[in-house]
């Protein structure tokens, strides 16, 4: 990970993956969030995962496999945001599609009346820069 974020100059990271109800941050919601916190050298410090009860229908079940009943008892985004607020502060978010996931996270906080933003490193962009495709990287 340190090669991906060489420009991040000694900052720590939060590797984030999300599952959402769809592909539009303005209209869709997170239904699953996973985070691995890592130090400046990429060493794992902590990890955390939660399903999230969305404010709208689950949708896209054929893609993510989650149904409404799977989220019964899951916390709302406000609870999840409270759990992430401190750990994400000051970290670079490392995400495969950083523009989307960071926008989904920011929109979730926006719905709570709060503003959030992060420095991001996108593994998708890094893969493209390295010439990697779905089938692998050139040797």
pTM of the entire structure? 0.83
Give the CATH number of domain 6-129; options: 3.40.190.10, 3.30.565.10, 3.30.420.10, 3.60.20.30.
3.30.420.10
Question: What tokens appear for 40 in the block?
Answer: 């400046």
**Is the pLDDT assigned to residue 8 strictly greater than 80?**
no
- The whole-number average pLDDT for the span 79-104 is 91
pLDDT confidence of residue 118: 87
User: What does the domain layout of the chain look like in residue ranges?
Assistant: 6-129
**Is the pLDDT assigned to residue 2 strictly greater than 50?**
no
Chain-wide mean pLDDT for the chain? 87
- The whole-number average pLDDT for the span 111-118 is 89
């Amino acid at each position: 990970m340190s090669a991906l974020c060489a420009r991040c100059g000694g900052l720590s990271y939060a590797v984030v993956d999300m599952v959402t109800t769809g592909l539009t941050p303005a209209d869709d919601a997170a239904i699953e969030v996973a985070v691995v916190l890592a130090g400046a050298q990429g060493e794992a410090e902590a990890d955390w995962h939660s399903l999230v009860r969305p404010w709208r229908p689950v949708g896209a079940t054929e893609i993510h496999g989650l149904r409404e009943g799977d989220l019964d008892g899951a916390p709302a985004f406000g609870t999840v945001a409270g759990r992430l607020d401190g750990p994400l502060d000051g970290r670079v978010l490392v995400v495969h599609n950083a523009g989307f996931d960071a926008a989904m996270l920011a929109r979730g906080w926006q719905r709570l009346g709060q503003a959030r933003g992060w420095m991001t490193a996108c593994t998708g962009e890094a893969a493209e820069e390295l010439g990697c495709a779905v089938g692998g990287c050139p040797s």
